[in-house]
């Protein structure tokens, strides 16, 4: 039999993508080998974990290995003629759609292939969007019957304590806040949830209504419910609490999850095998070989022998046909109660989303407690920071366990674990950045930076070593192969780099915009103008020390990358770029996640007093 092409099990170093939408989910692919073009420069040394020798990588399980030659040779030549026929407007929309609406690997690869474009989209874009959102000028009003001096006399002798997030200085227009500021906040949250469902490959909206109508209905509900609460004098006090608004956003973000759950129930997706398998399909199931019934609904009579026990072939025993039939039907009734694996996977996915959304409420409550008990000394500051670190990492570990990264592990989705790792890492970083505005001396900045950078530089290479991996395996903390474990650690370093930079860029930009902009009185947290009343927080100290801290973090990240490259031979930047190229939906989802988490940081420090 002639050999049309070579097929090597477990080796995908020469594969090429067959679809522009997403990689196949199979473990092996059989494709014709591509002849090497003379003079083509190979980049196999920069692939790190993406080589044929690392079969244990999580990417092997998803059939998503990309070789350097595959990335270089992947192009959209087949549609070049149709592209030239499009108008300028159609070309612009196609470019936007191929990156943000329906991501294509070729388009996303072109964005993330260059470092300045990659970090411009992943760092500068979400930071700029968040700064522009919080810089929208509010219609403000003075408090009736009180002048500024009366409202500002909140020093030590006034009998009232200034909260750490600042006392409300002006009243703001409720309708502008609801329809523009809070409405856009909720729309971003719904876009993030939708992108997460896209990674899960499930549409959460009813097919009869479609996405635009369902999205619009939930957005309308999100801004309609607070209106009677504001108009009622008995409940208006709730509108001045940031935690109440964030809790309502939590409910709004849970609506798509509830909608998807109801759709699955009404379509009977929780039942085992809604339609019978053919005899050919049953050959590949255990029911064919054991004689068990399959499905939860009646099917045509089994053409094979019934499920008989060993006593049925005993000539000295009476045939007990009725008993066998009742036993057979009992087995069918038991199988009706079983849940299909796809439905159980969706339940795990919902639990992971619930834990992730709860971080919003927990973080807001945590920040509220800290800000209302200011000022703090150096020890209290360190205790607050690292207690928040422990809280976030526990939630992150729980969500990571619920999601898994390999097929068969609960949800078993590497892209979803990637996004939620970014979500928790950025959630932790944003609250640490907000803390910088309430540090009183350069020593506090130095202490925090020494602990952060030394932990990153020393512990990261140690936790990536084979010895540490063997210890975790011996303690049953992981069952991953070393290559898969190393890949996850490298991914975490890349995600931490993104979270640190986007949070610090947003923080420094917001300080400038809110301190010198028209919303200075709406965000008194960044006012820094009450030193004469016992407030030692200083704008110059905060801005300069934060900028130096950012520079130190960049140096620490370069050192860690160099150590990982030198010790393990893995390029962190290449691994992150390949993740984004393999799963193009990661790019818009990551930007949506970062934008909304940054919005959450600014929303937690706005002072709400409505006119």
Contact 461, 489 (CB under 8 A): no
User: Is 94 part of a structural domain of the chain?
Assistant: no
Residue 89 pLDDT: 83
Residue 278 pLDDT: 66
Residue 160 pLDDT: 44
- Whether the link from the prior residue into 375 is cis, omega within 30° of 0, is yes
Helix (H) or strand (E) holding 172: strand 171-172
User: Is 331 part of a structural domain of the chain?
Assistant: no
Report d(CA 332, CA 315) in Å as an integer.
28
Residue 465 pLDDT: 92
Report d(CA 498, CA 165) in Å as an integer.
27
Contact 600, 360 (CB under 8 A): yes
User: DSSP per residue over 394-413, as a string?
Assistant: HHHHHHHHHH-SSTTSTT--
Residue 125 pLDDT: 95
User: Is 78 part of a structural domain of the chain?
Assistant: no
Q: What is the pLDDT of residues 430-439, one digit of tens each?
A: 877 877 777 7
In 440-595, at which residue ranges do the beta strands (DSSP E only) sit? none
Residue 293 pLDDT: 53
User: Is 251 part of a structural domain of the chain?
Assistant: yes
User: Is 434 part of a structural domain of the chain?
Assistant: yes
Of 145, 103, 141, the closest CA to residue 121 belongs to 103
Q: What is the pLDDT of residues 213-268, one digit of tens each?
A: 999 999 999 999 999 999 999 999 899 888 889 889 989 999 999 999 998 888 76
Residue 185 pLDDT: 95
The count of structural domains within the chain is 1
Phi-psi region of 273 (alpha: psi -120 to 50; beta: other; left: phi over 0): left
Token reading at 475: 């303690």
Residue 338 pLDDT: 60
Please report how many Cα atoms fall inside a 13 Å half-sphere around the Cα of residue 109, on the Cβ side: 19
Q: Which domain holds residue 424?
A: 115-148+166-268+340-603
User: Is 591 part of a structural domain of the chain?
Assistant: yes
Residue 47 pLDDT: 40
Report d(CA 194, CA 201) in Å as an integer.
10
Residue 515 pLDDT: 86
Report d(CA 293, CA 401) in Å as an integer.
34
pTM of the model: 0.77
- Across 477-509, b (16+ Cβ under 10 Å) vs e yields eeebbbbbbbbbbbbbbbbbbbbbbbbbbbbbb
User: Is 543 part of a structural domain of the chain?
Assistant: yes
- To 10 degrees, what angle do helices 242-266 and 341-372 make? 180
User: Is 188 part of a structural domain of the chain?
Assistant: yes
Q: Which residues of the chain have pLDDT under 50?
A: 1, 3-76, 78, 148-161, 294-308, 310, 312-313, 315, 318-319, 321-323, 328-336, 532-534
Residue 455 pLDDT: 86
Contacts of 439 (CB under 8 A, 6+ apart): 381, 445, 448, 541, 542, 545
Residue 428 pLDDT: 85
């Amino acid at each position: 039999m002639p050999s049309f092409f070579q097929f090597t099990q477990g080796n995908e170093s020469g594969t090429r993508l067959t679809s522009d939408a997403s990689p196949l989910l199979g473990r092996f692919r059989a494709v014709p080998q591509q002849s090497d073009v003379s003079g083509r420069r190979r980049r196999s040394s920069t692939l790190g974990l993406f080589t044929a020798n690392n079969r244990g990588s999580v990417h092997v399980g998803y059939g998503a290995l990309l070789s350097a030659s595959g990335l270089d040779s992947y192009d959209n030549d087949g549609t070049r003629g149709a592209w030239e026929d499009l108008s300028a407007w159609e070309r612009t929309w196609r470019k936007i759609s191929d990156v943000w609406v329906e991501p294509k690997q070729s388009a996303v690869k072109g964005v993330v292939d260059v470092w300045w474009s990659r970090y411009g989209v992943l760092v500068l874009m979400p930071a700029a969007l968040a700064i522009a959102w919080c810089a929208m000028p509010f219609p403000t009003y003075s408090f009736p019957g009180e002048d500024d001096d009366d409202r500002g006399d909140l020093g030590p002798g006034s009998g009232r304590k200034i909260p750490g997030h600042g006392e409300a200085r002006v009243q703001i227009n409720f309708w502008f806040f609801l329809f523009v500021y809070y409405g856009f906040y909720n729309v971003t949250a719904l876009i993030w949830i939708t992108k997460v469902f896209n990674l899960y490959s499930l549409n959460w909206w009813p097919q009869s209504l479609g996405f635009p109508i369902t999205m619009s209905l939930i957005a309308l509900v999100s801004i309609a419910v607070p209106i009677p609460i504001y108009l009622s004098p008995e409940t208006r006090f709730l509108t001045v609490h940031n935690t109440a608004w964030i809790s309502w956003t939590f409910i709004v973000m849970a609506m798509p999850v509830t909608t998807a759950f109801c759709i699955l129930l009404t379509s009977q997706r929780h039942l085992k095998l809604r339609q019978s398998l053919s005899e050919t399909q049953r050959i590949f199931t255990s029911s064919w070989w054991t004689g068990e019934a399959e499905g939860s609904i009646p099917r045509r009579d089994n053409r094979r022998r019934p499920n008989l026990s060993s006593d049925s072939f005993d000539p000295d025993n009476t045939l007990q046909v009725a008993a066998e039939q009742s036993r057979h039907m009992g087995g069918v009734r038991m199988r009706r109660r079983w849940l299909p694996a796809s439905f159980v996977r969706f339940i795990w996915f919902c639990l992971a989303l619930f834990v992730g959304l709860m971080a919003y409420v927990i973080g807001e409550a945590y920040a509220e407690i800290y800000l209302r008990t200011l000022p703090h000394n150096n020890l209290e500051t360190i205790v607050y920071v690292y207690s928040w670190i422990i809280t976030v990492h526990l939630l992150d570990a729980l969500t990571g366990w619920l999601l898994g990264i390999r097929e068969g592990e609960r949800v078993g989705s590497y892209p979803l674990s990637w996004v939620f790792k970014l979500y928790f890492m950025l959630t932790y970083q944003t609250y640490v950045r907000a803390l910088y505005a309430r540090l009183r001396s350069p020593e506090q900045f130095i202490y925090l930076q020494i602990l952060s950078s030394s932990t990153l530089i020393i512990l990261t290479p140690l936790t990536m070593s084979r010895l540490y991996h063997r210890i975790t395996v011996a303690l049953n903390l992981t069952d991953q192969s070393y290559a898969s474990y190393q890949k996850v650690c490298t991914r975490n370093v890349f995600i931490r780099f993104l979270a640190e930079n986007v949070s610090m860029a947003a923080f420094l930009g917001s300080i400038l915009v809110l301190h010198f902009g028209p919303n200075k009185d709406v965000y008194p947290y960044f006012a820094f103008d009450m030193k004469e009343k016992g407030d030692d927080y200083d704008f110059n100290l905060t801005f300069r020390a934060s900028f130096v801290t950012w520079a130190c973090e960049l140096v620490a990240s370069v050192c860690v990358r160099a150590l990982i490259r030198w010790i393990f031979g893995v390029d962190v930047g290449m691994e992150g770029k390949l993740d984004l190229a393999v799963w193009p939906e990661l790019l818009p989802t990551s930007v949506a996640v970062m934008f909304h988490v940054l919005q959450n940081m600014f929303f937690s420090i706005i002072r709400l007093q409505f006119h």
